[in-house]
Amino acid sequence: MISDLILMNGYGIYVWSAFAFTLIGFFSLYFIISLQLKKEQKRFEKNFTTLSEEKYTVAINQEINKEILKHSGSKV
């Protein structure tokens, strides 16, 4: 019974290889996007901390900046 599920009347090799390829593709995309997000957050924090005092106070009060800094782990 389990071998019928694995073999799928001779189509099992195609089905399982497609399934594995899809999972590998999803995990690799997730990993790449996660790395890029962390890189962009670090770049944002670097640019954010080099602002002048006046621009910093304006930027810190914007909701989008609060949200980005909250998720990046920085202290607002």
Q: What is the pLDDT of residues 3-57, one digit of tens each?
A: 888 889 889 999 999 999 999 999 999 999 999 999 998 898 888 888 888 888 8
pLDDT at 64 over 90: no
Predicted TM-score (pTM) of the model is: 0.63
pLDDT at 75 over 70: no
- Distance, CA of 38 to CA of 46 (rounded, Å): 12
Count of residues making up the chain = 76
- Distance, CA of 20 to CA of 1 (rounded, Å): 22
Instruction: Give me the phi and psi of 6, to 5 degrees please.
Output: -70, -45
Q: Which of 37, 45, 50, 35 is nearest to 75 (CA)?
A: 45
Instruction: Give the per-residue pLDDT at 66.
Output: 78
14 versus 62: the higher-pLDDT residue is: 14
Given a contact cutoff of 8 angstroms between Cβ atoms, the answer to whether 38 and 66 are in contact is: no
Instruction: Give the per-residue pLDDT at 59.
Output: 82
